Every structure is written in structure tokens, then in C-alpha cells.
Structure 1
Amino acid sequence: MADRTHVVVIGGGYAGVMAANRLTRRDDVAVTLVNPRRTFVERIRLHQLVGGSDDAVVDFREVLADSVRLTVDQVTRIDTAGRRLTLASGGTVGYDYLIYAVGSGSATPEVPGVAEYAHPVTSLEEAQRLREVVAAAPPTTPVAVVGAGPSGIETAAELAEAGRTVTLVCGGTLGPYLHPRARRSVARRLAALGVTVVDGPDTTVTAVTADAVHLRDGREVPATVTVWTAGFGVPDLAARSGLSTDTLGRLRTDETLTSVDDVRVVAAGDSAAPSDLPFRMSCQAAMQMGPQAAETVLSRIAGGQPAPVDVGFAGQCLSLGRRAGLMQLARRNDTVTVLHLGGRTGARLKEFVVRNIVAQLAYEARRPGRRNRWIRDGRRRAALRSRQGAAPVTVDRVA
């Protein structure tokens, strides 16, 4: 590899795989993907794994370009001065450029009892452990799902459809992203599945015990199994390595997704905070940011000026069990509209989207850079200008 530029991608999620595949469009670039697992995780199917209807994994050979070297390991430190990564196995990997796509995981809530009694569901291993817990529990075991975002709603629906007695503890509003009409549609479907929805301003969880979830208003929700889906956290690798991060731990970058500290480090996905105005943590954003991070690196290798990040949203899809779903339509800047599709049409659309994402990964592996049809948000530039120069300037130092 001495005569080739070596680019290492940390993280084999949606953003990381898209980035690695896009990088292969140049023959003079050698690509290594470092990931802790040998399989690609369909994170947006983890609720199905919990419910027993899918294993939520895909062989990397189906979605990763043949020329990408897969290193199964965990990065413990980034040495930007030496351009070297330290691995959990004790080895090291050098790089010319680095794409930081470590994604997100479970938040660490400061709620008594959560660590001891609640089960998160943001990683493959967490979902697998929860599946074992649910499978071993008697059918009448009361289950509480805490968190009313997509993960909470989908997990509650999946378990209820499987015959479990489920209470969804919202800690506020059911489906806060959704338009009120779509929210009512979700509520009706959950009710039809037998899910008890506990929402409102006083439904914040104050403690979790072995047999109950305790709320701010004094109520206790019976729960022998508690599932925690409230909030996401970001790995602290960047912060531990001395790179600038935002308050959540996301790597701070300019609008080209380049680290504000190092021109050789580029970020994508949930772990990136471009201009301190990050996009919603989502597969939708990651699938767009991954190839754009790769294009930033390729532009720098070619001696050009990278283009600013350009991400547009279409809305949010929800599974409401296997027979119903909801598609909430949104404007490109991720603000919702009144339009939504529900019922069986919503379920079919959600399944189409999930399958199409894997198909897009595979297509990028075979024909990198041939397809780039994402809708764009033309309002981001205005949003940045309205912050009166608070955003980091574009990094244009010589690599």
C-alpha cells in the first residue's frame, strides 16, 4: 500500500459502509473498515429481533465492496499526530485519512435503577440479550417500554403483537416528531394492539425497580421487564483522543464534515456535528453523510476543495407491528407536514424502505458513486447564516 493513499473508516454502520464503498471508486485509494462485528447490523430492525421476527444482521459480503479490508476490532484511541489507531486487541493501524463513523448507542441516564433493571436496545448485543429475557419470561409478564420515539413505539408494538402485555411510558409526548394527526393514528394502532400508553408532562421516569417503573406524578407502572429506549449517547472515542466534540460527544466538524482540529479526520453519521448544527440522528442522514464524507476525502486527495454537506429528509417511517405502519412525510429541512400514510400501506412502505437501504449499500459496493439522488435541504445555508457566524469556518489547510 506504499504507493496508495490509505483511508481507514471507523464503524461499519450505515454511514461507515457507505463511506467505505464510495472510497473504492479510486484505484489509488486503499480502504480499511474497522468494526467490532463480522456482520452488518440492520439497526432499524432491532425491534424485530426483540420480537422474534428478524435477526437484524446481513453478511458484510452482501453490502461491502470486495476491495475493502475488514478489520474486526475496536478502536480505543486515535493518535492524530502519528496518524495511527490503537486497537483493543493491542494492534495498531496507520492511516493517511480517517473517516469517523462510530454511530450512537444507548444513553447513560442518571435515573436510579436503570442500569440494574432496564434493558437498552440500541445495539445488536443489547437486542439479543433482551430477546432472551423476553423469551424466558412467562406470557403474562408485564413489560414497560420507556421512551416514545421510534425505537420505543416500534418495540412496544412488536412485543404487543407477539402477545405481550405492554405499557409504553412516554416521559412526555407520544411520537414527538410526528404531526398531531399522525400521532393520533399511532395511538389508535397501539390501542388496537393492547398497548397502554402513559403520556403527559408528569410521566418522566424517576426510578426503575425490579417490578415497576416509577413516575414523577407518583404512579407506578408494573413491569417485570423494562425496556429503555429514551435517548441516545455517542461513544467517547473522539473526546478521549483529544478531538473537539459537542456536549453530546459528537465530533465537531466544518460544513465539509472535516474535523475542526485535523484536516485528515472526517466524520459522518450520528457521531458528527457539522458546524455545531447536527442533523437528526437517523439512518436517513447517515446514508447521505457517509458518501459525502468519502467525497471530502477524495477531493482532498485530488487537491480540490470539498463541497459542503447537503442532507435532505423525507420524513420518518414507523413499524407498528408486522401488519401496520406509518410514514410521516416531512419537508427537506426535517419539519413535518400534515401528510402521512398508515395501516397496511404504511407497513409495506416501511418494509420497502428498510429493504431498499440494504439494496443501496450493495449498489454502492458494486458501482460506487453512480447513484446520488437524495433530496436536498436548501434552507441549511440560511440556518447557518442566522447563527451570526457561530459556525466553524470551512477547513482549508493544506493536507
Structure 2
Amino acid sequence: MTGNTEVVVIGGGYAGVMAANRLTRRADVTVTLVNPRPTFVDRIRLHQLVGGSDDAVVDYRDVLAERVRLVVDTVTRIDAGERTLALAGGGTAAYDYLVYAVGSGSADPRVPGAARFAYPIADLEEARRLRAAVDAAPATAAVTVVGAGPTGIETAAELAETGRAVTLVCGDVLGPYLHERGRRSVAKRLAGLGVTVVEGPGAEVMEVTADAVRLADGRELRGDLTVWTAGFGVPDLAARSGLRTDAAGRLLTDETLTSMDDVRIVAAGDSAAPSDLPFRMSCQAAVQLGPQAAETVLSRIAGTRPAPVEVGFLGQCISLGRRAGIFQFSRRDDTAKGLHLGGRPGGKAKELICRSIVWQLGHEARKPGTRKWWAKDAKREQAVRARREAAASAVRQEGIA
């Protein structure tokens, strides 16, 4: 390809910013980032926004390369045939290549009353609404947090540390990702903060009302505020645009992160489903997927074969208030080990990681392409091969039938 190449990145989160910055490696590539907000949202700090210890935003000038043009708008439709994007503001944007990095948000709770009475916390606006509600509530107001994952645990701990009476409803088990040893450490810290943990058979939430949460076993937990952190969903932009997605709405791609429908569209982050085997929705995956999506685009521009994705995990870190936390170590395939770092050291590790993420974004902006290695999960290739063999077998069986 000769001449200037227009690349548009949809979504200015961790994956989108990393992709946009990496694309500036080539002087003949014009990069445009389309994002609905003028500032970068540091999502891994949204629970701190709710607790009042951080605003969870960073100026794009600190994390985005100068050559990247920021357009504050929302993409409403992708026209792959024409290679154009329709924008909510009424305009359009043309592209030669597109990086689809729309991220994730709150999932439809599908529980009666949850959408009406509970406060989600998956994006900046939701976290700010919850913060305002917490500020307006009396100091004695009880808070019920629904969700046993990192967001639920962190929000419960953050609010409890400010003196709130907090109940954490986990459903089956506290911290499903955690190893049993790590889970015990988290439970001990939450107990020390005064958080009441509700888990086990019958602890599934069946209904949310204005002042209570009703569980499957008939229990009713009274509370003044309910926070909903159970699950994440992805925007339906790809599906609305006629592109193939997985059951959750993530864009289906091959192992080079290229759309199954169009070689000009590449995906990264929470909204990507390579080989229909998506990685865990996380900042940890996003900062690896973003640059690799960009490298796929750069390879196509250069006329070379894109490399398959390589993502490996180190663990999961969870803050437990401002003075403690846990780093749960994992294998590269994202399964927890028996080793964890807890207490104050765990809290310091979490804070160091949070700061390092923003540093990584800024470093990629200043020196795109300096990171050339990825933590590889050796089991990924086996899983992809098994998926392909299963799909081929299903096609054969269908032909026989």
C-alpha cells in the first residue's frame, strides 16, 4: 500500500489507547481515536471514585501520542462496505483500517428491580451517580453490594473503610477466581472492615426493591443503597453493523484479531473474541491486545503476514480499602495458583500496578513499539485447535444428518 493510510480506533480505553499509540510507529499512518468522553477513564479506580479517594480520570495529553487525533463522539454504525462510520453527532468518518476497541460496560442485570433500584458502577457516569447517592445518604445508611468479583469486593471494602455498614452478596462463592488460600485472606480482611459476606447455596439475588435485596432461599436483606457489580456486557455496535459476534456480543476474529467478516477490521480488548475463545475482560488483557491489534494493521499495510495473538496472565490484584489488598498469582493460562500476596504488601502491589498501567500508556505514546514481547500462554494453541476440531466435527455431523 502506498500513500497515507487512515486508521480509526473506536474506543479510548486501555486497549484503544495502546492501539492508537502503537499505530503512530509509521509516519504515513494517520490515526484518529473516536471516544465519547474528552478524558481517559482509569476504570480500575472507579471504586475509589465511589469511596472518594480518586477521580478515576486522566488527561489524554498524558497517555495519548500527539499525532493521534481525538474525536469526542460516539460511533452508531460501521459500514464495512463503504469503510465509513456514522457518528452520533451527525458526522461520518472514513477509514482504510478500523480498530474495534469499544470495551465493556454494565450487563443487563435481568433481575426484577435491579435496573430500577440498583446502582451499577461499570463506567464513569455510573460511578459518579453512585458517589452522589452515597454522599446524599445518611452516615448510618446501609449499603448492599451485589457481585463477588473484584469490582464488588473492592467497592464493598472501599465503602466499609469510610465507615459505611456494608453487606456483600456473593451468590455462590466470594472471589470465584481466587485460590482458596487467597479467598480466606480476602474474607479475613473484609471481616476486619466490618463487611458482612453472604454466600453459598441460596444466596443468588432474585429481586431488588427500593430498600431490600431478596435472595433465592427467601432471605430479605434490608438496605438503603444497592450497588450492582455482577457481570459485564459489551456494546452491540458490531452486531448492529452486521458483523459476526459471539453470544456476548464481542466481535469474532481469528487469532490475528482480524474480523471474520472483513480484513480491514481488527478488534482489541474486552470487545474482541479471537477464535471464539475470548480472554478475561480485564485491563491486564487489554494492554496486551491493543498493541497487537495495531501490529496486525501495520503488518497488513506493510504487506506482511500478521502474527497470532499472544496473551499471558500473571494474576489478579484486588484492593481491600486504601491500606490492604491481594495479588493472586496465576499461571499464564489465567488459572489461580496457591500463592498470593496479601495485607499491606498486597495493597502496595495493587497501587503500583494501577500506576504502572497509566505509565505504560504514556510510554507507548512517547516511544511506540518499544515493547516487543508478550507473556505467552502455551495452552492457547491447544485450546484453539480443539475448538476448530470440534467445529469441523459438528459440520460433518450436520452433513451426515
Q: TM-score over 0.5 for the alignment?
A: yes
- Per the alignment, residue 155 of structure 1 pairs with 155
Tell me the distance in 1 between the aligned counterparts of 2:15 and 2:219.
Answer: 41
SS of match in other structure, 2:350: helix
**Equivalent in the alignment of 2:371:** 371
C-alpha contact 1:275 1:391 (8 A) present in aligned 2: no
Report Cα offsets for 1:21-41 as digits up to 9, x if no partner: 000000010000000000000
Taking the aligned partners of 2:52 and 2:372, their CA distance within structure 1 comes to 34
Normalising to structure 2: TM-score of the pair? 0.96
What residue identity is the alignment partner of 1:285? A
1:305 aligns with 2:305: yes
Measured on the aligned residues, the alpha-carbon RMSD in Å equals 1.1
Cα offsets for 1:205-246 (capped at 9, x unmatched):
000000000000000111110000000011000000000000
Separation in 1, partners of 2:59, 2:390: 43
Deviates more, 1:188-197 or 1:109-118: 109-118
2:54 aligns to what SS in structure 1? coil
Q: Distance in 2 between matches of 1:145 and 1:93?
A: 41
2:90 maps to 90
- Match for 2:162: what amino acid? A
Q: Which amino acid aligns with 2:230?
A: A
The 3-state SS of whatever aligns with 1:298 is helix
Report what 1:178 is aligned to.
Answer: 178
Counterpart in the other structure of 1:80: 80
| Offset of residue 373 of structure 1 | 4.1
1:132 counterpart SS class? helix
In the alignment, what sits opposite 1:13? 13
How much has 1:383 moved relative to structure 2? 1.3
Q: Does the 8 Å CA contact 1:276/1:391 hold for their aligned counterparts?
A: no
Contact preservation (8 Å) 1:384, 1:391: no
**Percent of aligned positions with the same letter in both sequences?**
72
TM-score, normalised with respect to structure 1: 0.97
3-state DSSP of counterpart to 1:356:
helix
- Contact 2:106/2:122 (<8 A) preserved: yes
Moved over 6 A (4+): none
Q: Which amino acid aligns with 2:239?
A: A
Shift of 1:374: 3.5
- Structure 1 position 379, deviation (Å): 1.3
Residue 3 (structure 1) shift: 3.3
In structure 2, what is the Cα distance between the partners aligned to 1:139 and 1:337?
39
Structure-2 separation of matches of 1:146 and 1:93: 40
Matched residue, 1:195: 195
- Across the two proteins, how many residue pairs are aligned to each other? 391
Cα distance in 1 between the residues matched to 2:383 and 2:307: 18
Would you say the 8 A contact 1:257–1:267 is kept in 2?
yes
| Deviation string, structure 1 residues 239-294 (Cα, Å, up to 9, x no partner) | 00000000000000000000000000000000000000110000000000000000
Residue number in structure 1 paired with 2:168: 168
2: CA distance, partners of 1:87 / 1:171:
40
Partner of 1:218: 218
- Judge conservation of contact 1:249–1:271 (CA < 8 Å) in 2: yes
Residue pairs, 1:1-399, within 5 angstroms: 3-390=3-390
Q: Contact between 1:120 and 1:227, CA under 8 Å: does it hold in 2?
A: yes
Q: Distance in 1 between matches of 2:329 and 2:127?
A: 28
Cα deviation for residue 390 of structure 1 reads: 4.7
Partners of 2:187 and 2:252 lie apart in 1 by 37
- The Cα offsets for residues 85-128 of structure 1, whole Å up to 9 and x where unpaired, read as 00000000000000000000000021110111000000000000
Query: Unpaired segments of 5 or more residues in structure 1?
Result: 393-399
Per-residue deviation, 1:388: 4.4
